[in-house]
Amino acid sequence: MKVTIKVPATSANLGPGFDCLGIALPLYNTITVEETVLPGTGIEINLMTSEQEENIDEMIFDNIPRDNNNLVYKAIEMLYNSIGQEPSELKINIESQIPISRGLGSSASVIVGGLLAANKLLGSPADETALLSLATEVEGHPDNVAPAILGGFILSSQEPDGSIVYTRLNWPEEWDITLCIPDFELSTNIARSVLPENVSMQDAVFNAKHLAMLINAVNTKDEKLMKIALQDRLHQQYREKLVPGMRNIIDAFKHEDGVIGTVLSGAGPTLLVISHNYDLDKIKSTVKDIWNSQSIKSEVKTLKVEPNGAQIIE
């Protein structure tokens, strides 16, 4: 039996929503899992770039495990083990359109793809609640896996009992999201290592207020409020030193009418520029000029929110 899962990219945090906000975007990883008929063949894992994504450097695949340490296999194994079974001999194909280590949920996408494929192969023993919990267990937090599974713009929380609570927010269709993807990687581990273990009460209250503002701004399509709401004091100020040109790009659009705000995508280094009725070519040229001045190549693309989460396509 063979099953193919298509999973969208995701962007987490969006400023003040650290580890709880995530949004699905129309870039995809496609995971195909096939049970092989010959015993003893073990695990075969093939990695390939999407024909639609020419700018992914295939050399980055050299560091991705092709054995039982691969994230897709780990997710598959977890679901099998949860019902007291072991995976059979498997052939796994991973077709990547989502840049790796760029803050666009590449790891969440393959975890979700592996879980959904395993669930289909096993006759769908896990419901949405169980899949969210298992994906969060592998990933560590639900901000990326929730929109990868559900699609859209999601506010989520892992509660003390391990359950995942989420709600959908309606991202205004007229608000454009421009991805600014530099040609260098930034691992989540490094991006988390620069964060303080403790923050001041003042900074915690600041983020709580701005997250509340963000939710209301999205619900009411209030661009002026959203521009204020996108500020953060929990992670971006610490990660900025890991992303050359980030401050220059933020400052370039800070006072531009039509630009709602610029935020780090997940752990970075990708930046999101949120705008409405603004010259998208100007965003592209400004970002490229700033990064080119620092000898950084980049890809800039404007996308809408992906309303659908992971889907079985075969």
Which pLDDT score is estimated for 55? 45
Which pLDDT score is estimated for 41? 61
| Strand (E) or helix (H) holding 180 | strand 176-182
Residue type, 16: P
Could you count the other beta carbons within 10 Å of the beta carbon of residue 205? 11
pLDDT beneath 50, residues of the chain:
52-59
How many helices (H) and strands (E) the chain has is answered by: 10, 11
Q: Which of 211, 205, 249 is nearest to 230 (CA)?
A: 211
**Rounded CA gap, 234 and 240, in Å?**
12
Which pLDDT score is estimated for 206? 98
Domains of the chain: 2-170+305-312 (3.30.230.10), 176-303 (3.30.70.890)
Which pLDDT score is estimated for 70? 84
Which pLDDT score is estimated for 40? 61
Which pLDDT score is estimated for 59? 45
Residues 56-67: tens digit of each pLDDT: 444 455 667 666
Which pLDDT score is estimated for 220? 97
171 contacts: CB under 8 Å, gap ≥ 6: 23, 152, 153, 218, 305
Which pLDDT score is estimated for 53? 47
Which pLDDT score is estimated for 51? 52
Which pLDDT score is estimated for 39? 60
Helix (H, G, I), strand (E, B) or coil at 223: helix
